[in-house]
Amino acid sequence: MHYKKEHTKLILTIDETYHGQTILDIFQNLHLSRKTIHLLQQHKAYQLNGRYVPVTTAVNKNDLFTVTAYTTGLDYQPQPYPLDIVYEDELLCIVNKPAHTIIYPEHKDGLNTLCNYVAYHYLQTRQYYPVRCLHRLDKDTTGLVMFSKCSLLQPCFDSMISSKAIRKTYLAAVTGHFSKKALTVSKPIGHDRHHKQKMIISSTGKKAVTHIRQKLIRKDYSLVECQIETGRKHQIRVHLSSLSHPLLGDELYGSKSPYIDRMALHAWRLQFEHPLTHKKMDIICDIPDDMKKLF
């Protein structure tokens, strides 16, 4: 569907995808909860062609459907930072997270986190939205992180994350060389009972699948591409370590590296279908300088 934003509302032009469906169908397709749908009805917070109608009303191609979709008010302390905005529209903000940076502060008034930097970007561009991160990266991992700007569509994005409708691909520098150029690791991952911070391969753990492709080799390390089917904590780190090819600089699952002062992992690519336009999105973020110099 074509869409445009007006203040706190989204105006959707119904296309053939939703022609003949009801307003309730649209809300459910966007993964809205029963409570949210009830509140939209209670507050008459949507209109079809300029008037409020029951949710059982069917829509037709080229109808204009208007719905209150945005919450206003920054909720993290804005902090100046030269943030790299990789992609942005009225619904999403996708940024390149720098190394040695956590996503959230421990308290709402905390500083020096990605949420603070995104809040500052919103403030500078007069976008007064709450900062809503859709997924996480470890402190030392660089690369793509998605933020939802539209509160109405956040459940849809959350569903896309949990159902793996958003394909995530990472680039990693690892110790040694692989005997095969491509392989798939399917080993369940669970918590290490003896080390609070660590995850381990465990028969009682949760399913974890990582596809690995070797791209470049150097004297004693390699550049690999890792595409994850599942999103377990430390998944790439644990799977690579289980193959005796830990990330360079990963002190938890490997050791310090003379080549880089952090673990060499970068969230390189996000592929997904835009929830409103259904356009195929392919967002790529180049590796940072400290990894470039390795190759």
State whether residue 239 is helix, strand or coil: helix
Listed in sequence order, the residues at least 6 apart from 160 whose beta carbon sits closer than 8 Å to its beta carbon are 166, 272, 275
Residue found by looking up tokens 């909860």 in the block: 33
Q: What is the DSSP string of 31-100?
A: T--HHHHHHHHHTT-EEETTB---TT-B--TT-EEEEE-------S-------EEEEE-SSEEEEEEPTT
- Of 75, 138, 158, 192, the catalytic one is 138
138 has catalytic annotation: yes
d(CA 160, CA 275): 9
What is the separation of C-alpha 221 from the centre of its chain, rounded to a whole number of angstroms? 28
- Catalytic residue numbers, as ranges: 138
